[in-house]
Structure 1
Amino acid sequence: MASGAAATSGGGNAAKTYPFGLVEKRTERNIPMVTFISDVPEFMKQDGAELKNVMEALDGLYNELKALESRFVNMRQVHKMRIPEIEETISVVEFLQKKAEAGEDEPMITNFQLSASIFAEAKVNYNAGKVVLWLGASTAAELTFEEALDILKTNLKRKEDQLAQCEEDLQLTKKQVTTAEVCMARVYNNDVKERRAEAAAKAASGKAGDEEEE
């Protein structure tokens, strides 16, 4: 197995590299795909593949994966919080649209939030046929019901796709974490096994020498 080559993220930025071919490749979202070490004795024949060096490389890879896992968990939470907000806004606009189509003249009285604990009363005129939609980045726009619904439904679909992708990335990262953990255990256990075998061989050699002297 060759030593690790440089890998780059999907965005073209240089990604962290690992020796001994520990990373097979990286996904478009820069998730390192861990190479499973099936034959540890053969793996340890590589140049510089001493226990300390290999374990340090595996530990670094493990830490990167755990950081990615934490990031995907946080991103998933953000998407899960945002989706209900968009769905609720769609429901409100559809409600206003139906009222306008029904030709109701009586304005709706509602409350809107000014700050964390301050609300103000407002009258909503259905017949205006428009809403002011917050677009983000300190930007709002006055739109027709149809325009607002089109934007909101597009945003909802994008958020749902982002959530699905985030969930997929999270599960993949968790699998790579497990693979890294298993590899660390296999490398360490192989070292223990070899040391014990070496100690047993020395003990047997010493015993044979004593018997010859007798």
Structure 2
Amino acid sequence: MAATASPTTTSTITTIGGDHVPAMPFIDDIELFMAKEGKSAETAIQKLQEQYQGYKLVEQRLLSRKLKLRVKIPDIEKTLGVVTRMKQAQEEGETELRAHYELSDAVYAKARVPLLEQQPVFLWLGANVMLEYGLDEAIALLTSNLRMAQQTLAQLVSDLAFLKDQMTTSEVNIARVFNWDVRERRKRGEGTAGAAGADAESEGK
């Protein structure tokens, strides 16, 4: 939920992906806010829009990371499932596994995988790096990586919700300043028109 604060309240700071992101306080008292800012409505709106764009930039980075994790997590789960199945087969005394593996898109081949007493597996770690692990080591590593990826994804979802709240509050604040400016312009216009009418009436007399 977006923070609600008076214009004199200092915004809270949230750290997101290494960035220090200030919360956007809701402008409750628009008159006090504009008096405190001492700026024109155009300048105040420009400042609010710059903050809004800052939130959008951070949001785009987080959405990109979220998309990558949405792809990465199923891959880790699939690999962990295969290694766990190999470990289970080894413990049950099986000497080989039969599997279908993907050669290319929509093309699969059958394979017979012998199970050794000290069965190694080779895991891609990224950046064209592959390392050999024992089954227990591989299961421990994949389990840890899966847990970290899921925790990171959960944090990203939370951070994105925070950013959405700040952007919504920013949009409302911009609208409030704009509406205040419209009212002020109307007041000044009515005052000028009223004074001109009074002068014309006195001259007629």
Q: Give the TM-score band, short-chain normalised.
A: 0.7 to 0.9
Q: TM-score, normalised by structure 1?
A: 0.80
The correspondence for 1:170, drawn from 160, 168, 172, is: 160
The correspondence for 2:56, drawn from 66, 69, 81, is: 66
**Deviation, structure 1 residue 124:** 1.8
Give the equivalent residue in structure 1 for 2:13.
26
Conserved? CA contact 1:62–1:177, under 8 Å:
yes
For the residues of structure 2 that align with 1:109 and 1:184, how far apart are their CA atoms?
A: 60
Cα distance change, pair 203–83 in 1 and its aligned pair in 2 (3 A): same
3-state DSSP of counterpart to 2:15: coil
List per-residue Cα deviations over 1:103-161 (Å, max 9, x = no partner). Answer: 12245354354x77887765422224221122223322221111101000000000000
C-alpha RMSD of the superposition: 2.5
Give the equivalent residue in structure 2 for 1:125.
114
List per-residue Cα deviations over 1:152-204 (Å, max 9, x = no partner). Answer: 00000000000000000001001100111111111111011001011111112
Q: Name the structure with the higher strand share.
A: 2
| Higher relative contact order (CA closer than 8 Å, sequence separation 6+) | 2
Structure 1 stretches of 5 or more lacking a match?
1-19
Conserved? CA contact 2:90–2:115, under 8 Å:
yes
For the residues of structure 2 that align with 1:163 and 1:109, how far apart are their CA atoms?
A: 31
The correspondence for 1:143, drawn from 128, 133, 146, is: 133
Q: Which AA in structure 1 matches 2:187?
A: A
1:7-86 paired onto structure 2 within 5 Å = 24-29=11-16, 30-46=20-36, 48-86=38-76
Conserved? CA contact 2:121–2:132, under 8 Å:
yes
Task: Quote the sequence identity (%).
Answer: 33
Structure 2 stretches of 5 or more lacking a match?
1-6
The number of residues matched between the two structures is 194
Question: Is 2:177 aligned against 1:187?
Answer: yes
